[in-house]
Structure 1
Amino acid sequence: MKIIISFSLFFLSLTLVQSENDDEAAVQKVVETFFDGFHKQDSIIMKGVVGDNVLLQTTGRNKEGKTMFRTEKIEKLYSSIVGIPDSIQFQEKLTSWSIQVDRTMANAWVGYEFWLNGEFSHCGINSFQMVNFDGDWKIIYLIDTRGKAGCLED
């Protein structure tokens, strides 16, 4: 009887670990899809992984070293990305991942470097908060940091 219980618990724990891994992979896929749309300048792709009433914020230091913090409407991000001329090349390279999931909520802490016309511009962290709406992970909150300090270090 103890063997049956032990095997049952073992297989249950494997199922839970697999479920967590599946959720983490799904969360990462949402972020990758968001940036696929970003790089293709396709707001429809981006909107496909963003929930209603998403909150978009950024923080960093200005030239005087003071903390700046601002909130923007997601529509402004969409229109600015779509409006970038073909003569400008940009890439947000995702450099690190930390994903946490609990039931219907997830956080993806994603390091990045931003490159403009082949030149390094800045780096930081994107923090995505997501909710699983009946099987679909959607971004409901995005905040990022921006700066040059500590970037491109080996």
Structure 2
Amino acid sequence: MRRLFTTILLVSFLCSFSQTQEEAVKNTVDSFFESFHGRDAKGMQKWIHKDAVLRRTAPNENGIQALRVQNFDDLINGVASIPETTLFEEKLLSYTVQVDGPLAHVWTPYEFWMDNKLHHAGANSIQLFLEDGVWKIIYLVDSRTVEGATD
């Protein structure tokens, strides 16, 4: 009886500290953005699936929202090359996480600040795939619904 009680207690203890899939997905997004803010190309690449797709929506030269194709490597290299003297932060304002087996979706409204001024804002829609026990970003599309704002 004592052994059974000890086993149940141990399993309960371990389960209370195990990470839910939603938390694991959120941690992947957070880890990507930590590397993003650190201008760490290798760190960002760690969380991106080799076949990942990147899209952006933003007003075109006529002010009409348009979908643009972007290469993840271009984004990563661009962020990594931002001068250290330039302050920037993409503030994720909230998270909505949905998981179904090996597929997850994260919705994160954001504000992008550059040199302490609001540069733009919108939302990220991020799809992730669970590959070999690791959540990887397979699709990211963001919107820019506020351009050139100042604080």
Which bin holds the TM-score, normalised by the shorter protein?
Answer: 0.7 to 0.9
Residues 55-80 of structure 1: per-residue CA shift (max 9 Å, x gap)? 00001223533122111111101110
Q: Which is further off, 61-70 or 49-58?
A: 61-70
Partner of 1:143: 141
1:90 aligned to 88, 91, 108, which one?
88
- Residue matched to 1:131: 129
Q: Percent identity of the aligned residues? A: 36
Residue 6 (structure 1) aligns with: none
TM-score scaled to structure 2, two decimals? Answer: 0.82
The Cα offsets for residues 129-150 of structure 1, whole Å up to 9 and x where unpaired, read as 011012111001100001218x
Q: Secondary structure at the match of 1:77?
A: helix
Query: Runs (4+) of structure 1 moved beyond 4 Å?
Result: none
- The residue number in structure 2 matching 1:108 is 106
Relative to the length of structure 1, the TM-score reads: 0.81
2:84 alignment partner, SS class: coil
Equivalent position of 1:25 in the other structure: 23
Partner residue of 1:117 out of 115, 118, 132: 115
> 1:99-136 CA deviation, whole Å, 9 max, x = no partner?
00000100000110000000011111111101101211
Amino acid at match of 1:49: W
The match for 1:47 among 16, 24, 45 is 45
2:97 corresponds, among 74, 96, 99, to: 99
Structure 2: where are the runs of 5+ without partners? Answer: 1-14
Match for residue 76 of structure 1?
A: 74
Q: Distance in 2 between matches of 1:22 and 1:101?
A: 10
